[in-house]
Structure 1
């Protein structure tokens, strides 16, 4: 995580009008020098070739940051102690006088944005001084942000010194690293080479174009030597692009491109990949080499194509005693994992009812590598009341939300002999009712005449 040198949103909640007015009266400079402190782990060598971890802090000194008004008053790092012991965290102070450190604003505001930063520092090379093995004076700092940014910094530490030089210069060696440290108990380093990528993982659709980001910068003491892009997938590797300074040719596979002019002038080593197919999925490695250093960035490229969903037939009219099968065709998706389910809803029902009486076909793969599957739902007029709606729901990683496609079940229609029988019965009932009514009306006058005769 980023150190607490900056007050998150200190001026974002500017409620005091006097303060806001003062800031408006005296505009802040567009850039400001700050220190960025990051909690890290130092991974070194232990006995018998094993590795050991030790708490560490990486301090990026005097980083120029755009002053957006959210920077706190405290922007300078102060070492916690002057005489560290063997158990104290190793503090690496890194200045970058000749090259710029990338994505520093993201590192600075990581705490405010709720972003996680992982930092690991390890020995990069070993030298000898005075005939004895010397502890490493070069280090590699690897930073990973949860947003996908990766940064690699090659740090040049203090020169190794012999025992004689140690006594002559009254140097104080770091108790853990055995190299000269500052009066504040820190290890002073400079950034000699940096490389970065904005994306550690990318997800693209079939047929699209994508750029795999990779940039670098190096100090004047070294020069760029070569660039190679490799792809690894399912245990096999393949070189996609190779370029070496001084070479008259570029080795590149079809569909890939690196702008060599931008590579040499601005340090843009990004790889462009056109018309992405399923076969392009895998792990891409940007391998940068200079006269002194080497660094790499790994980018996971995943192909994700959403499914197309159709339900047939879309409208169903039942005949009594007939079972109808609805088919939900799911096609053109990648990768393989897909979820298909059915529900039923009637006009009187408040919620959809999940159905389990379904069948599935086997997965089918087309030439472009995508998959398809069919799901079947059998419905019978003996057990189902119409009208009703049957929906096929499909979930897939390439979908922001599931797809739902419905079929409508219409109420049974009276046709053929059933319709004639119904009409005949209705006619008979009408005639009987008519005779009864007419009989009652005829009987009423007769009863009145008999009543008068009796009087």
Structure 2
């Protein structure tokens, strides 16, 4: 649109907005210090049992290379206090850009839930575990100064300079899938030397290494400078795929395991029926669900059934690992002239947020007999109409032959 030979102001604003929206946000590399509140966890074998004592510390990932939109204002470097209120683990990260670094940098501003735990391993080596929704991070770092008693580090309220030797991330830590679905598990490792990544499945007390020899499994490896990415894809999920998947990362003298849980959730198929012989019985079939736990209850006209008790069959397991169960309810028949009783089968299962509710009407014998008679009459009418249509077509064909 033009006004007096000039573009309309609203159109100019729209064009400018489109240009700004269409322009690519510049992605740059910059370094930042990431400060995370952590728990210092120590194994406590006192009182005859095994547990952990925890003390509050701070973990500072220093000189982290971030890939993203650089802030307009330069981020200040972390300055260790002369008299810290708690022990600070100051870990220098001399690694390739971390894909999740920007997320860690803004985790407090976004109000995202984060867990951080650091523990001594042996000699000067420490392990830190950082957990966010849909992301798990493991850090192996070595103290740059001798530490005489790692158990007392948190009490001393000191600055512990460290160097990160290996960093591993995995996602998602826990995932659910239905039968025939496809799932993808990711594992990334950053290290100063050659990094090897393998996948294992732990199930029912036994484990084995996964390989692409299974046609349903694909393992993709991508190697970059000082970084290894491994992606495990499983197609056409079945019950036997459920378990604990372990991403094992080895480099130099370090070995780190990341745990990823895969759960199979298959909702039930529910059907309901009424049979009149030998007694009037309402049957609710709950088929092909996984895992085993399922709850079946009954309602009569919207209220819990109390006048009869259901009989439940034993669970049946199918060749694909899913389960089935049936619930039977022997019910009285309404008196002639009374309205139908509405029985509702309610099935709850962990695969569903809301239960499945399916209902059936139980009629009086008089009403049921009347309905059956109506069905028989309609059936005979359809048969007669079919015979008449057949006779008419044959007669029409003979008439056509005579006229030819």
Partner of 1:232: 202
Partner of 1:278: 239
SS in 1 for 2:359: strand
Distance in 2, matches of 1:254 and 1:148, equals 27
**Rg larger in structure:** 1
State the Cα distance separating 1:39 from its structure 2 match: 1.4
Point out the structure with the larger strand share.
2
The one of 33, 40, 49 equivalent to 1:42 is 40
Partner of 1:141: 128
Q: Show the 5 A alignment for 1:24-423.
A: 34-43=32-41, 53-63=54-64, 64=66, 66=68, 76-79=77-80, 81-83=81-83, 89-126=86-123, 136=124, 138-145=125-132, 147-160=133-146, 176-177=152-153, 186-219=159-192, 222-224=193-195, 226-241=196-211, 252-253=213-214, 255-260=216-221, 262-263=222-223, 267-313=228-274, 323-345=279-301, 352-356=302-306, 357=308, 358-382=310-334, 385-410=338-363, 412-413=366-367
CA 1:276–1:185: 2 relative to 1, 3 Å: same
> Paired residues, what number?
337
State the Cα distance separating 1:252 from its structure 2 match: 4.9
Query: What is the root-mean-square deviation in Å for CA atoms of aligned residues?
Result: 3.9
CA deviations on 1:33-74 (whole Å, 9 max, x unpaired) are: 5432211122357899997644320112344374598x9998
Where structure 1 has 5 or more consecutive residues not aligned to the other structure, the ranges are 1-23, 127-135, 163-172, 242-250, 346-351, 420-455
CA 1:212–1:344: 2 relative to 1, 3 Å: same
Distance in 2, matches of 1:47 and 1:388, equals 63
SS in 1 for 2:240: helix
Note if contact 1:102-1:151 (Cα within 8 Å) is conserved in structure 2.
no
Distance in 2, matches of 1:188 and 1:401, equals 52
CA deviations on 1:344-382 (whole Å, 9 max, x unpaired) are: 22xxxxxx1111422211111111110001111222225
State the Cα distance separating 1:190 from its structure 2 match: 3.1
- What's the TM-score, normalizing by structure 2? 0.71
Distance in 1, matches of 2:55 and 2:355, equals 47
Distance in 2, matches of 1:373 and 1:105, equals 50
Where structure 2 has 5 or more consecutive residues not aligned to the other structure, the ranges are 1-19, 374-404
Note if contact 2:144-2:163 (Cα within 8 Å) is conserved in structure 1.
no
Distance in 2, matches of 1:252 and 1:82, equals 57
Partner of 2:17: none
Distance in 2, matches of 1:333 and 1:264, equals 43
Note if contact 2:171-2:260 (Cα within 8 Å) is conserved in structure 1.
no
State the Cα distance separating 1:187 from its structure 2 match: 2.2
State the Cα distance separating 1:256 from its structure 2 match: 2.5
CA deviations on 1:281-313 (whole Å, 9 max, x unpaired) are: 111111011123221100111111110001114
- What's the TM-score, normalizing by structure 1? 0.63
